[in-house]
Amino acid sequence: MGQGVHTKMIQVASRELRMPLSNVHLRGTSTETVPNANASGGSVVADLNGLAVKDACQTLLKRLEPIISKNPRGTWKDWAQAAFDESISLSATGYFRGYESNMNWETGEGHPFEYFVYGAACSEVEIDCLTGAHKNIRTDIVMDVGCSINPALDIGQIEGAFIQGMGLYTIEELNYSPQGVLYTRGPDQYKIPTICDIPTEFHVSFLPPSQDSNTLYSSKGLGESGIFLGCSVFFAIHDAVSAARQERGLRGPLKLNSPLTPEKIRMACEDKFTKMIPRDKPGSCVPWNIPI
C-alpha cells in the first residue's frame, strides 16, 4: 500500500524476538489468515498491526522461555528444534483491540485520541505574472513523530503527503457541468503533481520525542497528517500575488480560492491585458462549468 507497513512489521518482529531482519519473512494480509482485520485508515495501520505483532511475539517468547533459559547461547534454530522435539507450539496469534477513548461528543469533553501529530511547513515560490505559472523553490517541514520506527519510511510518508496536499491546494481542480456531470475525469482533463512540481530544495526533519507514550515504541502514525502542510504553497503563492499587485498600485484585501490554478493566479495579477477580457453579465449566459 506504499505505507511501509510490511517493513515496520518485520522490524517489530525482529526487535521483539531479538533476531536479524533477514530471518523474518512477511506474508501479505489476507482474509485467509485474518478474517476480521481492521481497515486501513487514519494513519494508524502501523500502530494497530504492530501492537498485534508485538503481542504475538511476546506470547511466543513466554512459551519458549524454559528452552531459551536452558541454552541461552543457542540460536533460534536450536531453540525452534528443541521446541519441536518437546511438542511446544511455535506459532502464536496476537491481537490489539485499538486505543481506548473517553469522549463525550455531546459536551465536547474527554480524550478522543491516544495522541496527536503536529507539524509545520514553510514554502517559497516564484510566480510568472504573465502566464500564471508558479515554481516551487523550497520547502522546509518539521514534524513531531515521536520515536520513529523507521525514519526513512516516515520521511517518505511526509514528503508524499505534502506533494499530494500541494496538488490539492494548487492544481487539482474539479469542474462539473451545470447538470452535475464531472468534466475532469482523466489525465487529459485533470492535473496532478509531477516531478517538476517537487520543490527544488525539500527538507524534512523530526522534532525530538518529548515523552514516552503507550503507542508502538512511543512512535506516531504518519501519512494523512502531512497533507494539510501542502497549503503552505497556497499561502506562498497568495503572498507572491499580493506583492505583484502592490507593485502595480493595487492594494486592499485579496481573496483567492483553492485550488490556486495558473488561470486564477494570472487573473489576480491584474494588468492591461486582463482588463481587455470582456466580462459576462450575470444571467446573460449559461456557464459551461461549475467549479467546486
Cell readout for 141 is 517541514
258 and 194 in a common domain: yes
Q: Confirm whether 140 is domain-assigned.
A: yes
132 and 245 in a common domain: yes
Cell readout for 239 is 503572498
Pick from 269, 6, 257, 261: nearest CA to 130:
269
64 and 203 in a common domain: no
Residues 199, 265: contact at Cβ < 8 Å? no
The domain tally of the chain equals: 2
Q: What is the pLDDT of residue 1?
A: 58
Pairwise pLDDT comparison (227 vs 101), residue with the higher score: 227
Q: How far apart are CA 14 and CA 17, in angstroms?
A: 5
- Alpha-carbon distances, residue 262 vs 10, 64, 117, 194, 241 (angstroms): 45, 64, 32, 15, 11
Crossing angle for the helix pair 231-247 and 151-170, nearest 10 degrees? 40
pLDDT tens digits, residue range 225-250?
A: 899 999 999 999 999 999 999 999 99
246 and 154 in a common domain: yes
Residues recognised as catalytic: 224
126 and 75 in a common domain: no
CATH of the domain at 23: 3.30.365.10
152 and 268 in a common domain: yes
Q: Give the mean model confidence (pLDDT) for residues 66-75.
A: 93
161 and 20 in a common domain: no
pTM of the predicted model over 0.85: yes
Q: Confirm whether 286 is domain-assigned.
A: no
Pick from 188, 189, 191, 186: nearest CA to 172:
191
Residues 51, 218: contact at Cβ < 8 Å? no
Chain-centroid distance, C-alpha 93: 29
Cell readout for 179 is 447538470
170 and 257 in a common domain: yes
Is the bond preceding 112 in cis, omega lying within 30 degrees of 0?
Answer: no
Q: How far apart are CA 174 and CA 191, in angstroms?
A: 10
Q: Confirm whether 93 is domain-assigned.
A: no
Q: What is the pLDDT of residue 2?
A: 66
Query: Could you list the residue range(s) of the whole structural domain that residue 40 is in?
Result: 5-86
Q: Confirm whether 58 is domain-assigned.
A: yes
Cell readout for 181 is 456531470
Pick from 237, 14, 247: nearest CA to 128:
237
Is the C-alpha dihedral spanning 270, 272, 274, 275 positive or negative?
Answer: positive
Q: Confirm whether 151 is domain-assigned.
A: yes
DSSP state of 33: T
Chain-centroid distance, C-alpha 138: 19
Q: Confirm whether 282 is domain-assigned.
A: no
Q: Give the mean model confidence (pLDDT) for residues 190-199.
A: 92
Confidence at 212, pLDDT banded by 50, 70, 90: confident
Q: Give the mean model confidence (pLDDT) for residues 167-185.
A: 91
Q: Confirm whether 34 is domain-assigned.
A: yes
Q: Give the mean model confidence (pLDDT) for residues 218-228.
A: 87
64 and 151 in a common domain: no
170 and 76 in a common domain: no
Q: How far apart are CA 285 and CA 218, in angstroms?
A: 59
- The b-or-e profile of 46-58 (16+ CB within 10 A means b, else e) is bbbbbbbbbbbbe
The DSSP bridge partners found for residue 134 are: 127
The DSSP bridge partners found for residue 141 are: 121, 204
Confidence at 255, pLDDT banded by 50, 70, 90: very high
Residues 99, 105: contact at Cβ < 8 Å? no
Q: Give the mean model confidence (pLDDT) for residues 11-29.
A: 92
| Alpha helices for 32-102 (secondary structure H) | 45-70, 76-85
